Amino acid sequence: MTPRPLMFFGTTNLDLCFNVERLPTPGESLIGTVTRNPGGKGANQAVAAARLGLQPLFYTRLGCDQAGQSLLESLREAGVCTEAIEIATGEVSGSALVLVGDDGSNMIVIDPGANLNVTPEMVESAAQFIERDAIVVAEMGMPIAALSRLFEMKGEKGFELIFNPAPVRPGLSSQAWRSVDFLTPNQAEAFELTGIAVSDFDSAAHAASRLLDLGPRAALITLGAHGAYYADANRSFALRAFPVKVIDTTAAGDAFNGAFAASLAQRLPLREAVRKALAVAALCVTRRGAQNSMPSAQAVDEFLKAQTILELE
């Protein structure tokens, strides 16, 4: 069966990644080793889906600089369709400073650059690429006015909308929240949106019901090493994370979102789509980096096969 069309809207950054023994405290200087990697939430999500064999479209805004060129090339190489991407004359590309400790924890500072200047008109023009029956994925790094326009177009375009509310910011109307099909916060974002601290599946269930009050059709909360919790008006379930040796948790949530969207596009049943997203995110945290830590379809299939054998034993 042919997959459903898939399009991501979001940010792209060049990540300057420092590997350090542990994260610094304020005022402290540490020695680390640096690498430059393509990143940005939207870009990571699109690459996660492309690595699984989809040909997702991606709308983002890059600066007219060397970073923008190399970001565009790496998206193409990963198999992302880049024809909707804008290159902003006279602007710089987004960049991020990422610190990763030996225990896999991270700290991130972002300069959004050209990502910050996406307008509703730009999104409207990019939306011409959205085909019938598409799945659209958005994150919260784009300006709220632009996101709101995208969500408004759901009515006329008829797409299914996955919204990863990261980083959480105010300003979305209640109508915009109601247009979301799958709202996918992590624990911290679920807390920011509901005021409920999410530490396990019970508290996730509580937070999910509050999230549903905001208006989305379904809430899908990721809980790091615990796994993920799904709820809509008719059903709910929790799935445990796959146990793996964590090297770097950067982009775990992006891997999850990209893979969940790709799995829905591949028409997997909901629970299987969540399970596959957990597998992709688990493999992502066993590797360093953001986009370069996204696993291939084959790696995920092999991983899931090995897990099934373990589950049967």
Summarize as ranges the residues that interact with ligand ADP (CB under 6 A).
186, 222-225, 227-228, 241-242, 244, 246, 249, 252-253, 256, 278, 281-282, 285
Cβ distance 136 to 181 under 8 Å?
no
CA 295/CA 283 separation, integer angstroms: 6
Instruction: Using CB atoms within 10 Å of the CB of residue 109, give its burial: 0 to 12 exposed, 13 to 18 middle, 19+ buried.
Output: exposed
* CB of 123 closer than 8 Å to CB of 9: yes
The one catalytic residue among 111, 202, 254, 301: 254
Minimal distance in Å, beta carbon 106 to ligand ADP? 9
Q: Closest separation between CB of residue 13 and ligand ADP, Å? A: 15
Q: Rounded distance, CA 9 to CA 17, Å?
A: 24
Nearer to ligand ADP, 9 or 230 (CB): 230
CA separation for the pair 258, 253 (Å, rounded): 9
Answer for the pair 38, 74: CB distance below 8 angstroms, yes or no: yes
Residue nearest to ligand ADP (CB): 253
* Closest C-alpha to 43, from 75, 85, 65, 89: 75
Task: Write down the least CB distance from residue 192 to ligand ADP, Å.
Answer: 12
Query: Is 248 an active-site residue?
Result: no
The helix (H) or strand (E) run that includes residue 127 is: none
Pairing of strands 182-183, 218-222: parallel
CB of residue 198 to ligand ADP, shortest distance in Å:
9
> Between residues 115 and 164, which has the closer beta carbon with respect to ligand ADP?
164
- Which residue lies nearer to ligand ADP by CB, 163 or 242? 242
Active site residues: 254
